[in-house]
A and B are shown apart, each in its own frame.
Chain A
Amino acid sequence: KMAAAAGGLRRAGWRLWRGRAVLRCQLSPPHRTLQASAVLRRVSDEQKEPLASSSQQQFDSHPTNHQPEQEPQGSRPSYTGQGGQESEDFESEEQLQHRILTAALEFVPEHGWTAEAIAEGAKTLGLSAAAAGMFHSDGSELILHFMSQCNTKLSELLEQEQKLVQLGEAEKKPTDQFLRDAVQARLRMLIPYIEKWPQALSILLLPHNIPSSLNLLTSMIDDIWYYAGDQSTD
């Protein structure tokens, strides 16, 4: 029992360290990243990181302060822990997963939205292909990651446009043209993956993926309407 208590304390201390490291890394994470991580956690059935998520929620008080979605690669604390992957430990598992999925996107045209693409992505990061086992075998997490990245890019784009209008450097577009342009911009982001996109949509329609994909869709629509000027709360 003592050993178990000691083990428990050790683990709690370890998680605290990790939580602090995450706090230091993320200055003000964009609203979308928080949603993306929540989606990933919901989609897969892995253990939650209570400390990491609570630290992220502290910074959620700035929804309009959008920053480009980035993996905090420059500001990772250096820590010589066990084994060769010290930096990954203190980067938090979710951030590593994001990196793997981002790396996997370049293999999608060749392998489709599959576990093979994720395995290839892991290999480019220097990890074993077995790391793809962290994700669902249907490739859904890769698609959702891509979609949330696109949504983030779209909201940045829209925000920049809004800034230009506020500074008086551009004309405010009529609503229907605004919507058309926004949707077109979003659709253009699919062009590099257009061949495999039907596969992605079919995977997103699987019953266990519908909640997450619908969530991303509705939040994107919310965003577009927000920038189109709709201030209503529904």
Chain B
Amino acid sequence: AAAGLCPYRALLARRGGALRAFCGSVRGLAAGPETHFGFQTVTEAERREKIYRVFESVAKKYDVMNDSMTLGIHRVWKDILVHKMNPSPGTLLLDVAGGTGDIAFRFINYVRCVRERQLQQKIRHHQNLSWQEIAESYQEDKSKSLGDSQVVVCDINKEMLKVGKQKAQHLGYSEGLSWVLGNAEELPFDDDKFDVYTIAFGIRNVTRIDLALQEAYRVLKPGGRFLCLEFSQVSNSLLSRLYDLYSFQVIPVLGEVIAGDWKSYQYLVESIRRFPPQEEFKAMIEDAGFFKVDYQNLNSGIVAIHSGFKL
């Protein structure tokens, strides 16, 4: 029924003035409170749908656009996130809004390296054991290259997951990786399941951030860590002006040229401006029940990593 109403509402939205105000009150009853989509004001239901459509259309060119918009620096940001996480083998990671799998792949690489180092150290320890003891230890030590670590990539958008799965196949990632369709505001997982919850450049697209944070708290094990990588507010005023210039003049043009989609990238830069600044977001995370909440600015605040623990 909601789907049927949507195009009708969208039609009404195009008429301005008094008619809009009237329809606004009617819409309000049916579709939920008002919120923002970039710099527009829409209802929550509309926002969810619009965002779904944005990512549906950019899914195939998502990685290319990321590289061209950030001049490849987004790779460094994601590397820093995984380094900060410092996962040990056996960690269970939930990557929400992880669409094309960037964080998941980096996690797998990192854990593989740590695991190799662990195995090497074990061999060094074994140098004073007898041959028999060493052979016996091979049998108990299953020698999995990932050491039981697992990552679950969860995304609300089927297209993004599809692109992610194709990438995984292409790059040869198969072990320890799962793809789940799910909404960050209502995760299809049980309580106290994951060691780490990450959301990279996804939380500003969530309509009810507080619900997503509560869900994050719920699915994390006690002692588990919440990590969020997101665009944030730039503190330096000169840099801020250059950044604004770049965001509003260059990025939508790149979007049109590379992905053939001006509007989606217009939405993207607007949504960055609408996202709460570092301290406010930190307070929201604390409200969800996390402790030791802290943030680290990268590139003077263009991007920030927020971290919290479920204690």
Chain A contacts to B: CB under 8 angstroms: 4, 7-8, 10-11, 45-47, 82-85, 88-89, 93, 96, 115-116, 119, 122, 125-134, 137
Q: How far, in angstroms, from A122 to B87 measured CA to CA in the complex?
A: 14
- B79 neighbours in A (Cβ, 8 Å): none
Q: How far, in angstroms, from A128 to B219 measured CA to CA in the complex?
A: 12
Q: How far, in angstroms, from A137 to B83 measured CA to CA in the complex?
A: 10
Partner of A126, one of B222, B293, B309: B222
- B292 neighbours in A (Cβ, 8 Å): 46-47, 93, 134
Q: How far, in angstroms, from A129 to B114 measured CA to CA in the complex?
A: 15
Q: How far, in angstroms, from A83 to B216 measured CA to CA in the complex?
A: 12
B287 touches A83 (CB 8 A): no
B221, B223, B284: which has the most chain A beta carbons within 10 Å? B223
* Closest B residue, CB atoms, query A122: B223
Q: Does B86 contact A (CB under 8 A)?
A: yes
The smallest beta-carbon distance between A213 and chain B, in angstroms, is 23
A137 touches B86 (CB 8 A): yes
- A84 neighbours in B (Cβ, 8 Å): 192, 222
7 new A-B contacts, CB < 8 A, other than A4-B283, A46-B294, A128-B225, are A47-B294, A85-B222, A85-B310, A128-B220, A130-B221, A131-B225, A133-B309
Partner of A129, one of B91, B220, B307: B91
A45, A83, A125, A137: which has the most chain B beta carbons within 10 Å? A83
19 A-B residue pairings within 8 Å (CB atoms): A4-B280, A7-B283, A11-B286, A11-B287, A82-B289, A83-B222, A83-B310, A84-B192, A93-B311, A115-B86, A125-B223, A126-B223, A127-B223, A128-B225, A129-B90, A129-B91, A130-B309, A131-B223, A133-B84
Q: How far, in angstroms, from A130 to B219 measured CA to CA in the complex?
A: 14
B311 touches A96 (CB 8 A): yes
Q: How far, in angstroms, from A132 to B309 measured CA to CA in the complex?
A: 10
- B225 neighbours in A (Cβ, 8 Å): 128, 130-131, 133
- A82 neighbours in B (Cβ, 8 Å): 289
A47 touches B283 (CB 8 A): no
Q: A126-B222, A128-B222 are in contact. Are A10 and B293 (CB under 8 A)?
A: no
- A119 neighbours in B (Cβ, 8 Å): 88
0 or 1 for each of B205-229: is its CB under 8 Å from A? (1 = yes): 0000000000001001111110000
A10 touches B287 (CB 8 A): yes
B85 touches A133 (CB 8 A): yes
Partner of A88, one of B195, B224, B307, B311: B311
- A133 neighbours in B (Cβ, 8 Å): 84-86, 225, 307, 309
A129 touches B195 (CB 8 A): yes
Within 8 A of A (CB), among B275-311: 280, 283-284, 286-287, 289, 291-294, 307, 309-311
Q: How far, in angstroms, from A82 to B192 measured CA to CA in the complex?
A: 13
- A131 neighbours in B (Cβ, 8 Å): 223-225, 309, 311
Q: Does B65 contact A (CB under 8 A)?
A: no
- B85 neighbours in A (Cβ, 8 Å): 130, 133
Q: How far, in angstroms, from A48 to B307 measured CA to CA in the complex?
A: 15
Q: How far, in angstroms, from A185 to B250 measured CA to CA in the complex?
A: 68
The smallest beta-carbon distance between A144 and chain B, in angstroms, is 18
- A96 neighbours in B (Cβ, 8 Å): 311
Partner of A128, one of B84, B86, B217, B221: B221
B217 touches A45 (CB 8 A): no
A47 touches B192 (CB 8 A): no
0 or 1 for each of B124-160: is its CB under 8 Å from A? (1 = yes): 0000000000000000000000000000000000000
* Closest B residue, CB atoms, query A15: B286
Nearest 9 interchain pairs by C-beta: A127-B223, A131-B223, A128-B223, A130-B225, A128-B221, A128-B195, A130-B195, A128-B224, A85-B222
* Closest A residue, CB atoms, query B87: A130
- B86 neighbours in A (Cβ, 8 Å): 115, 132-133, 137
Q: Does B234 contact A (CB under 8 A)?
A: no
The smallest beta-carbon distance between A128 and chain B, in angstroms, is 4
